[in-house]
Amino acid sequence: MLLRFSVALAALPACVVAFPINGTRAQKLIESTDSELVSSALTGDRAAQHALYVRHVDHVTQRVARLLGRSAEAEDVVQDTFVVAFRDLAQLSEPARFGGWLSVIGVHQVHRRLRRRALLRRIGLDSQTDDVSLSCIVDPAAGPFVRTMLKQLDEALVRLPIELRLAWMLRHVEGCALPEVAEQCRVSLATVKRHLVRADKELRQYIDFEGNAEESAVDQIHMVSDRGKQ
Amino acid sequence: MRTPILPNRDPSGIEDECRSECLSAMRLPDPLTRVLKQPAGSTNYPLLWRRVEVQLDQSSLPAGLGKRTGFGWWQVVAASALGGVILLLLVLTHGGPSMGVVENVINEPQQESAAVEQSLAADVQADVTWSSVGDTGLRLRGGAAFSGIEARSVPKAVTFEDGSSLRLAQHSVVDALVMSARDVVLRLSMGKLVLNVMPDGVRRWTVQAGAVSVEVVGTRFIVERTAERVTVTVSHGTVLVRSEDLPERVERVGAGESLSVDIVSLSSHTDEQTKRTTKSDSQPPVGAVAALLERADRARLQGDWSVARHSLERVVNEFTDDPRAPLAAYQLATVRQSQGAAPEQVAAAFAYALRQNLGTSLRQDCYWRLLQAQIASGQRAASKETARVALEDFPDGRYSRRMREFLDGALAE
């Protein structure tokens, strides 16, 4: 009985269990700007921290998941991101830009996780699957050709050095402006431009390596649907 | 029809700068958000927040002060040196970490069945494997690290420092893929395990059984894996079972419920037709190869390389005489490449595929990929030979120009 009760308690939303917030306070938190919430959070106000978390967790999780390609690791990275953000909150010079700053921390955590993954892969211990790769999150209405292209792109992106991969994905998947990409990658604008050009060049070489994009897509379609003719 | 390239969200006005020629060549929009759907939000946000809170509390500093109540560098060095001395003394006096594991297992409290007690007295040392990478945030009771256990003729059991326990039935194998402060991921390669996870913990426990994964927070459940099926039975609490063979790819299983997932979808065939065959046996079961290849295709499209590799290896090894086996061999080599295998292994896989009866188009691709893998692995002589043979086979092929350039450059050195 105690075990079952404990399990049920664990399933309740954290904000209900952790502190009883009355409606007025909750409403005030919802209506507060990031600046106001950051100021409160700096004094140790856990409710303000939670409000910031609720406001930004979905966006951070989506971005981290797309950059990592794996939902299983995304939550870990998101957790680390918020812990670092709240721990180092005093270093945020512009409280109104909490969201952007959080994203910078998230990308840095993704970078660390990708480095670790590369090491595990080199020694054959990377057994997880990419369930949020581009080809896995393609819009069903996009069609099989787009899906096949994205599959090739996934394979090519994995081969890029991590810095190039992140810069390219922030620019061409997330749609970030160049200054934002530079900020999130923690490099200069000139460097990020070099990264993007080099990444694009290497991706093109890989696609050319396949023969060309269209031919390989046709081959793949034949492999799936026309086995008897082989 | 050419896909229109949409303007990106760049507010700085430098829209054309650093546009992707790769996406243009692939006729994809830039950025790609137009053809991507939003991944579903996680249902774990409340639990995630609790973990964040726990970590913030454990860091023991008022949030936002940004200053750790840490130690000076000399204190860190002194602590490290002291820790090293203690470890050395432990090794010298107790013979290493393996003894700690044996002691931990032997000192388990009395179990329900005599068979389990018998297993505790058995020579467990040879069955326990050690991981060489990854942090071991969660340890066994007693402090020893855990990275796997195999139960042979008798069941085995271990208890973790947080009170969670794992029991293996006989003829079962479990590896620990991740044992961190936040996650425990166990892989059940075969057999049956009973897992009792303490509730209100901060760790997320996951059991991987082939293409099926079971996620849990605070519960007791059983996972059983056979060659054809994975069965999850929950005693207390709730688990999430994920598998591409489930209708919605995820299913919630509550207390008192059980869920079975077939590993290979051969449900349209009779038992006689799905029996495994060897090369010397009669004709392969009708539809078995097609089902395996279809499964491999699905897995490849999802990026699930392990499942794809397993399915293709079965075709290559068990149905060698099937006309689709060469195609499977080629696809297996590409899967190995996608998995990030060492270039030597990739080269060997493509070399094997080349020896099969591949069609013209695939054969050309195979030569080119083999050449690339041989270059990447430093096999210069072999790569030159490959280019030479490929040009003899396909003097006007898709890659002939590049192969000639490679040979010219290689011979000039």
Residues of A in contact with B303 (CB under 8 A): 69, 129-131, 133, 135-136, 151, 154
**Helices A71-87 and B45-58: angle between axes, nearest 10 degrees:** 40
Which chain A residues contact residue B235 at CB under 8 A? none
Among A7-16, A28-37, B72-81, whose mean pLDDT is lowest? A7-16
Is residue B40 less than 8 Å (CB to CB) from chain A? Answer: no
Contact across the interface for A89 and B340, Cβ inside 8 Å: no
What's the CA gap between B4 and B18, in Å, rounded?
Answer: 17
Q: pLDDT (tens digit, 9 = 90+) per residue, B87-114?
A: 777 766 655 444 333 333 333 333 333 3
A8 close to B (CB below 8 A) = no
Is B133 buried (19+), middle (13-18) or exposed (0-12) by CB count in 10 A?
A: exposed
Q: Between the CA of residue B392 and those of B364, B395, B411, what are the distances in Å?
A: 11, 6, 17
Sign of CA dihedral B399, B401, B404, B410: negative
Question: How high is the pLDDT of residue B94?
Answer: 55
Higher pLDDT, B122 or B387: B387
Chain A contact for B183 (CB, 8 A cutoff): yes
Among B residues 90-129, those touching chain A with beta carbons less than 8 Å apart: none
Q: Considering all CA atoms of chain B, what is the largest pairwise distance in Å, rounded to the nearest integer? A: 76
Q: Which of residues 125-144 of A touch B (CB under 8 A)?
A: 125-127, 129-140, 142
Mean pLDDT of A83-105: 91
- Least confident residue range of A118-122, B36-40, B370-374: B36-40
Give the Å distances, CA to CA, from B393 to A42, B124, B314, B396. Answer: 71, 57, 30, 9
Give percent of chain A with pLDDT exceeding 90: 35
Residue B64 to residue A86, Cβ atoms within 8 A: yes
CB contact under 8 A, B17 and A193: yes
- How far off is chain A from B93, nearest CA to CA, in Å? 33
Structure tokens at B26: 């692939």
pLDDT over threshold 80, residue B12: no
Name the burial class of residue A107, with classes exposed (0-12), middle (13-18) and buried (19+) by CB atoms within 10 angstroms of its CB.
buried
Q: What is the mean pLDDT of the segment spanning B160-189?
A: 83
Q: Report whether A217 contacts A152 (CB < 8 A).
A: yes
pLDDT at residue A207 above 70?
yes
- Residue A35: is its pLDDT beyond 60? yes
Residues B16-34: tens digit of each pLDDT = 567 888 888 787 888 888 7
Q: What residue of A is the nearest CA neighbor of B61?
A: A87
Q: At what angle do helices A98-122 and A71-87 cross, to 10 degrees?
A: 130
Q: How far is CA B136 from CA B161, B180, B193, B300, B407, in A?
A: 12, 5, 21, 32, 50
Q: What is the mean pLDDT of residues B141-164?
A: 82
Residue B409 forms contact with A (CB below 8 Å): no
Backbone angles phi, psi at B44, to 5 degrees: -95, 15
| CA separation for the pair A213, A43 (Å, rounded) | 55
Tell me, yes or no, if B411 comes closer than 8 A to chain A by beta carbon: no
Overall average pLDDT of the B175-192 stretch: 81
Q: Pick the range with the lowest mean pLDDT from A215-219, B171-175, B295-299.
A: A215-219
pLDDT digits over A167-206, tens only? 999 999 998 999 999 999 999 999 999 999 999 988 888 8
Gap between the Cα atoms of B193 and B184, Å rounded: 15
Say how far apart CA A116 and CA A127 lie, in whole Å: 13
Residues of A in contact with B364 (CB under 8 A): 211
Residue B368: left if φ>0, alpha if ψ -120 to 50, beta else—which one? alpha
Task: State the pLDDT at residue A103.
Answer: 93
Residues listed for chain B: 413
- Residues A185 and A180: their CA atoms lie apart, in Å, by 8
Residue pairs between chains A and B whose CB atoms are closer than 8 Å? 250
